[in-house]
Structure 1
Amino acid sequence: MDMIRDCKQTVVERAQRDPEFAKALLDESSALFLNGEPGAARLSLRDLVNATVGFEGLAALTAKPSKSLHRMLSPSGNPSMDNLAAIFDAIRRNLGVAIEVQAVAAA
C-alpha cells in the first residue's frame, strides 16, 4: 500500500464518515470567504460538495447546471454572490446546519 495518499481523497473520505468534520469544512469555507481568501474557499467548498451532496445533487438543489457549478468552484472560478449564496445554502441544508456569523475583534 502506498504511504502517500491524495490529500483531497483523504478529506472527502473523512467528510463522508464524519459529519462533524463536514460541518467544520463548511465553517472553514465560510471563514475563508469572509476573510478575503476566495480561491481557497472555492477549493474547500469543492471538496465538501464532492464529499457530501455531489455536483449533480448540488445542481438539483440550486437549479444550476452541474457543469457551471464545477466552473464556479474551480481555482479560476468567479461565482456571483447569488450563486455563492445558493451553493452555501444548499450545502448548509444538506448538512442540516445553520450558519451564524460572529464578529471577533482583530488582534
Structure 2
Amino acid sequence: MALSRDFRTTIAARVERDPAFAKAMLDEAVTLFLNGEPDSARVMLRDLVNATVGFETLAEETGRPSKSLHRMLSSSGNPGMDNLAAILGAVRKALKVNLEVHTISAA
C-alpha cells in the first residue's frame, strides 16, 4: 500500500499546526546529540530545518552555503561545534525557544 503523503510534508504540516511538536523535535535532536546518537540527531534536525526555517534561510542566517548545511545534516554528516551551534541557534530563534540542559543521575 502506497503512502498517501510524503513524510516531510507530514512533518512540516504537524510543525506548522503544533508548535509543541516542533519544540519536542528540537529537544529530542539535542538529547540525541548529548546521548551519543549523532546520526539520528542530524536526521531529526534536518527534518526540523525543512519544516521550519528551510535550508536557504538557514544558509543566510548562519553564513554557510546551503549545500554544506545539507551535507552536515545528512546521516553521515559531520558538523563542527561552531556549525552545530549556528544551526541550533537559527532553529531556536525560529521556534522562539531557549535551550536548557538538565542532568539526571544515572543509576
TM-score in terms of structure 2 length: 0.92
Report the RMSD for the aligned CA atoms in angstroms: 1.4
Listed as ranges, the gaps of 5+ residues in structure 2 are: none
Which runs of 5 or more residues in structure 1 are unaligned?
A: none
Aligned residue for 2:78, secondary structure, equals: coil
- Superposed CA deviations along residues 42-88 of structure 1, whole A, max 9, x for unmatched, are 00000000000000011111011111000000111000111001100
Name the residue aligned to 2:83: 83
Question: Kindly, what percent of the aligned residue pairs are identical?
Answer: 63
What's the offset of the Cα at 1:7?
3.5
Separation in structure 2 between the aligned mates of residue 74 and residue 20 of structure 1, nearest angstrom:
24
Equivalences, count: 106
Kindly indicate whether the alpha-carbon contact (under 8 Å) linking 2:8 and 2:51 is maintained by their aligned counterparts in 1: no
Matches within 5 A, 1:7-18: 7-18=7-18
Tell me how far 1:4 sits from its aligned partner: 5.1
Q: Which residue of 1 aligns with 2:19?
A: 19
Q: Secondary structure at the match of 1:20?
A: helix
